[in-house]
Structure 1
C-alpha cells in the first residue's frame, strides 16, 4: 500500500511540473508507424518471440503485439523496433 502511495505522489509531481513521464517515471513509450512498425522505449525484456506474436515486459505491464511476419529489427538497452504486419497491440497488467 505504501509503494502505491509513493508512486501516486511521484506521478502527481511529474504531472504538476509537466515533466516527461517516460523519462521521469520510466513509463513505456510506443511509437506506431501504420501497420508496419512499432518502436518501444523503456522496456525490460522480451518474454515471448514468435512469428505472429511478440510479448514485451515493461516496468508496469506486458505488451503483446500480434500480427504476421513479426521480427525484432533491432534492440538496445533503451529501445527496440518491431517490424512486420501489425494487427493488434494488447496491454496486460
Structure 2
C-alpha cells in the first residue's frame, strides 16, 4: 500500500481528495457522472475515453454524449453498455 493510501486510511480522509482518484457515479444504464478527470481523449456516439490521474476510463454504448463538463466533473448520457479501465 502506498504512503498516501495509508495516510488517507489512518486519517479517515476520502481517497479521492488525497490521491486525486477519479470518482464515477452511474445511474442505471443511462447516466454517468465523473469527477477528477484530466481530459477527453476520444469522443464519439459509441465511445468516450477519458484520462484520469491514474488510468484511462472508457465508456462504450450508443448515443453517448457529454451533457456538460467543467475542469473537475462531467455528465455523460446515453445507453451505457460497458465501462473499462486501462
TM-score range, shorter chain: over 0.9
Q: TM-score, normalised by structure 1?
A: 0.90
Aligned residue-pair number: 86
Q: 1:43 aligns with which of 37, 44, 62?
A: 37
Long gaps (5+) in structure 2: none
Pairwise CA distance, 1:15: 1.1
Q: CA RMSD in A?
A: 1.0
Query: How many angstroms apart in 1 are the aligned matches of 2:82 and 2:19?
Result: 26
Long gaps (5+) in structure 1: 1-6
Runs of 4+ in 1 over 2 A off after TM superposition: none
TM-superposition CA deviations, 1:31-67 (whole Å, max 9, x none) = 0000000000000000000110000000000000000
Q: TM-score, normalised by structure 2?
A: 0.97
User: Rg larger in 1 or in 2?
Assistant: 1
Between structures 1 and 2, the one with greater helix share? 1
